[in-house]
Homo-oligomer: A and B are copies of this chain.
Amino acid sequence: MPETLQFIPVAEAREPFFVGIDLGGTNIKFGVVDDRGRPMSWMTIPTEAERGPEDTAERMAAAVHRVIGEAGLTPQRIARVGLASAGPMDIPAGMITTPINLKGWHNAPIRDLVATSCGLPVTFENDANAAAYGEFWVGAGRDFPSLILLTLGTGIGCGIIFGDLVLRGEHSHGGESGHIILDFSPEARLCGCGRRGHLEAYASATAVIKRAKQLLESGRRSSLSDRIAGGKGLTPKLIAAEAEAGDELSLEIVLETAHYIGLGAVSLMHMLQPAGVFLGGAMTFGGHETALGRRFLEHVREEVQRLALPQVARATSIDFATLGGDAGFIGAAGVARLEWLQKQTGHY
């Protein structure tokens, strides 16, 4: 179990209990969480998606029962299971429809497969929304009435929470805010989705690597050139390391990324006026832990101050998320709890 997670013993936990599952392309994370969002146990298994959704669902059920045991509980004491997954998905149908990172899972009815295997009711959610709900419930946004979580990774994920409501939109894909338009000109950068000018085409890890390559190819001097072989090995981590070691081009790339994130945040803020915008995912350049991460965040904030309407800029906190890779399963448990509450009370 990860050292970052603090587990509470069952004697101190508050009922009801929930299991959260974060289904990724490589790994699946599981945890038992109490009514206050405090983790009681945790584990991870490889996804091995190529074995098919039925096989994975069987292994997920075994893992669910194992984390329940490790939390000192029996399945009878679990109120509900939350299952978070990347899309595209059909949330009401409980299906992953055309996943990119789960090959062969076309229209897999994963919610019901897991529910049947586990013998427990399952709530299904987009992983970006689940992570946002985790941060809202017990993470960086725990004191905020609303928030947007931008997850910076290979792509850019986005979850929007307003007053305990997960904003799902009508098509169950979760926030596609990575595809908001920053630049409509014909020369705008090409996005992975085939269209131009989207936030993801500027500020995802994929885009950062592409931008770095282009700068190096244009002849800019950088210690990055010595670290990579034929363009291979160029990652946001390497860029961060070189920036920290004093490489100017690397720092420029990091701060330019902050500029683009700031632009995206401003459009999101003008549209929705959340109390907080939080940055999570793998590409936070070290977060609060490093000087570079803090400088990155500071530059996002400066760009927001510069570009947003003053009353909106003043009233919105911009910060890093705090739950890291645990946001997904904690948030999945959180949305399971919301559905459980709704069923208990007839509303929420």
Contacts and interface: CB of A to CB of B under 8 A. Distances in A.
Interface string A154-171: 000010101001011111
A167 B168 CA distance: 13
Copy number in the complex reads 2
Contacts of A347: 347
Given A176-B309, A184-B183, A273-B176, A171 B263 contact: no
B312 A181 contact: no
A273 B170 contact: yes
Contacts of A1: none
A84 to B, nearest CB: 18
Contact of A268 (B160, B195, B271, B312): B271
B267 A267 contact: yes
A151 to B, nearest CB: 14
A205 to B, nearest CB: 19
Contacts of A177: 270-271
A66 interface: no
A169 B270 CA distance: 9
A307 B170 contact: no
A169 B272 contact: yes
A30 B203 CA distance: 48
Nearest to A272: B169
Contacts of A158: 271
A291 to B, nearest CB: 27
A257 interface: no
Given A170-B315, A181-B266, A193 B271 contact: no
B146 A274 contact: no
B312 A171 contact: yes
29 contacts: A146-B169, A146-B170, A160-B272, A162-B167, A165-B165, A168-B273, A169-B272, A169-B273, A169-B274, A170-B273, A170-B274, A171-B273, A173-B311, A176-B271, A176-B312, A177-B270, A178-B270, A179-B270, A179-B309, A180-B267, A181-B266, A181-B267, A183-B184, A193-B309, A195-B307, A267-B267, A271-B271, A271-B272, A347-B347
Given A168-B273, A169-B274, A271-B271, 4 more contacts: A146-B170, A173-B273, A178-B270, A183-B183
Interface of A: 88, 145-146, 158, 160, 162, 165, 167-171, 173, 175-185, 193, 195, 198, 263, 266-268, 270-275, 307, 309, 311-312, 315-316, 347
